[in-house]
A = this chain, B = another copy of it.
């Protein structure tokens, strides 16, 4: 049997959110490649070699996956969430474009997953029910000035916004700056959702206003959603429901 690379999304955490096509690909794989905590989500079995690597090893990991497929192996490259959203798919294609011509002849597929953004939105209600944007707040691979420009333009466009990688111990300042920019562009009543570790035992959902938001409410496991100016909160005995109406009057 000839080799392949399938770049698959494991969803946000719960097995019940992994699509059957991803489960089938993992069952057929000879090798699983990815960041250690994601590789560990794939159960060990005979005939499967698991290759966990560090964060920021994306390109080397992608090259190894492409090389193994050339040797006839069936390689699943795993990401949490969706592999096409700030995850391994772009890294594999960067490696492919810069790398060996033989890699272009490989059978390569991307199998989508439930992204953190969609899972977080579902848990809160429907905050992304109207036009929205999605921004990676890490400035490891782009200048902060571009992030700030995008935040301001997104606020002027009145998009709802989903933020990936809002805050880490190595980047404690960025999210504080993000809140400052939002406070310059949006009213203090603007709704913000901090959705942490959705669909895992550590899940927590917190709904606050921009005026009450603090940087400590986010960490690397948090997906942050900022509503548009029209986003509404429905209070009830159970957790509130947040949604953005489909209509603009």
Chain A residues in contact with chain B, CB under 8 A? 11, 14-21, 24, 58, 82-87, 89-94, 96-97, 104-105, 108-115, 118-119, 121-123, 125-136, 141-143, 146, 149-150, 153-154, 156-159, 232, 234, 236-238, 241, 243-248
Contacts and interface: CB of A to CB of B under 8 A. Distances in A.
A153 B157 contact: yes
Nearest to A164: B131
A81 B108 CA distance: 23
Given A19-B114, A93-B125, A125-B93, A246 B150 contact: no
From DSSP, what is the main secondary structure of chain A's interface residues?
mixed
A97 B231 CA distance: 12
Contact of A150 (B112, B146, B159): B159
Nearest to A118: B112
A133 B159 CA distance: 8
5 contacts: A112-B119, A112-B121, A131-B133, A141-B246, A150-B158
- A-B CB proximity, top 7 nearest: A90-B129, A89-B126, A133-B133, A93-B243, A110-B122, A142-B248, A104-B236
Contacts of A156: 153
Given A122-B84, A245-B94, A135 B131 contact: yes
Given A108-B241, A129-B90, A133-B133, A118 B115 contact: yes
Interface centre among A123, A128, A133 (most CB of B within 10 A): A133
Nearest to A105: B237
